[in-house]
Amino acid sequence: MKKKIFSVLLAGLITVVSLTGCSALNDAIQESEQEIEETKEQLAKDVQDIPEIKIDQDALDAFAKAGSLGTVNKDRAGNDITVPEKVEKIVSMSPSATELLIDLGLADKIIAIDTYSASSPFASKLKADLPAFDMMTPDCESIIALNPDVIFTTGMSSAHGEDVYASVKSAGVCVADIPTAASIKDIEDDITFFGDVTGTQDKAKAINDQIEAFKTSLNTASGKIAEKKTVLYVMSVPTADYPNCYTCGKGTYMDEIFTLCGLKNIAGDVENAWPSLSEEDIIAKNPDVIIVGDTYTPDAVNALMSIAAWKDIKAVKDKAVYAIDGDAFNQPNQYVMNSAYDIAVAAYPDEFKDLEKPFK
């Protein structure tokens, strides 16, 4: 009986302690919640007291542009250069540079060009009567007199080992050299460089994005081609006096483009970037397709197909010999992708029937 009474009393005591503990806990929770609410109210008041910060978007853009310009301290050849804070007057000494500058919206800032740019199809987009200089032997005195902010030159200008712009550099003009691109990546890096120097980074990026999108389209279509055709690129139609054929070899963006188009360049394993193939070499390789980029020989396709020694080559027998704009293909800028389009559609009309030319 005593044990029973003790058990009842013990149970009652535990119940009282439990109830007392729960009550204390509830009080603590309510007190914490009240403190949190008071803190939130105080923070809200403090935020309202902070003065509004206004951002000058023009100043922000100018700062971003200046910061980008400040990072350009070498040209594409690795030479040290100092880019002016503002680039308002540009001399372009290669057609590939001139065409790119136009697409970057800088035609009105070009104050002089090379002679090839002057006779190019896009010359009509430039100011009339611009001074034109020979890229190999430029009139440096006249160029200095124009007081340009920057001159974009080509590696071709130093082909003879002489710095033909030495006097221009000595006069304090920024001379940015652009060596001939060896790959599509080089071309994209050149475009980025032009954008950084001229403050047109967004437009440069948009062009590169377009190149990458087109490369993806080429890869997708060519990846479905089971039997890849072999191709020969003809830079100049052989003659009786010179029966050899200049073409593109390994380590060139042209060879890379043929691969993107689902073609195997018969000179793709030649270490020399610009090899000269003999008649015997070409006949032995027996290409399925021939692409002709000769812009000097009249009716270049028929001239090539009329070469007696080539009559049994598969491409000639199948009339799979196609002309493209050799000038566009030779100029390393975004428009080589248009050449890629022409090559792909010519070699595989069915496989690339839905492809669209990337740059209009």
Q: What is the CA radius of gyration of the chain?
A: 35
Residue 192's CB is within 10 A of a number of other CB atoms, namely 16
Q: Length of the chain in residues, anyone?
A: 360
What's the token pair of residue 319?
């009339």
pLDDT band at 14 (very low <50, low <70, confident <90, very high): very low
Q: What is the spatial order of strands in the sheet that 174-178 belongs to?
A: 132-133, 110-114, 90-92, 150-154, 174-178
Residue 140 within any structural domain of the chain: yes
What is the per-residue pLDDT for 141?
A: 97
| Shared domain check, 253 and 333 | yes
Locate the DSSP E strands across the chain. 90-92, 110-114, 132-133, 150-154, 174-178, 229-234, 245-246, 263-265, 276-277, 289-292, 321-323
Locate the DSSP E strands across 179-303. 229-234, 245-246, 263-265, 276-277, 289-292
**Does residue 63 carry a pLDDT above 60?**
no
pLDDT in tens, 97-128: 999 999 999 999 999 999 999 999 999 999 99
Which residue, of 159, 179, 199, is where some domain finishes? Answer: 179
Specify the number of domains making up the chain. Answer: 2
| Shared domain check, 70 and 173 | yes
Residue 245 within any structural domain of the chain: yes
Give how far Cα 220 sits from Cα of 262, 278, 339, Å: 10, 35, 18
β-strands 245-246, 276-277 pairing? antiparallel
Residue 110 within any structural domain of the chain: yes
| Shared domain check, 241 and 152 | no
CB 232 within 8 A of CB 356: no
d(CA 173, CA 208): 28
What's the token pair of residue 301?
């396709």
For residue 343, what is the domain's CATH number? 3.40.50.1980
pLDDT band at 67 (very low <50, low <70, confident <90, very high): very low
Q: Is the four-CA dihedral 133, 127, 180, 275 of positive or negative sign?
A: negative
DSSP label at 158? Answer: G
Residue 258's CB is within 10 A of a number of other CB atoms, namely 29
pLDDT in tens, 184-198: 999 999 999 999 999
CB 99 within 8 A of CB 333: yes
β-strands 245-246, 174-178 pairing? unpaired
| Shared domain check, 149 and 87 | yes
Residue 317 within any structural domain of the chain: yes
What is the per-residue pLDDT for 20?
A: 42
Residue 11 within any structural domain of the chain: no
- Mean predicted lDDT score pLDDT of the chain: 87
Residue 357 within any structural domain of the chain: no
| Shared domain check, 265 and 163 | no
Residue 198 within any structural domain of the chain: no
Residue 259 within any structural domain of the chain: yes
**Does residue 69 carry a pLDDT above 50?**
no
Q: Which residues contact 6 (CB under 8 A, 6 or more apart)?
A: none
pLDDT band at 44 (very low <50, low <70, confident <90, very high): low
Residues spanned by the domain of 306 = 226-347
**Does residue 11 carry a pLDDT above 60?**
no
pLDDT band at 71 (very low <50, low <70, confident <90, very high): confident
- Comparing CA positions, the residue from 176, 182, 188 lying closest to residue 215 is 188
| Shared domain check, 325 and 246 | yes
Q: pTM of the entire structure?
A: 0.80
d(CA 95, CA 150): 16
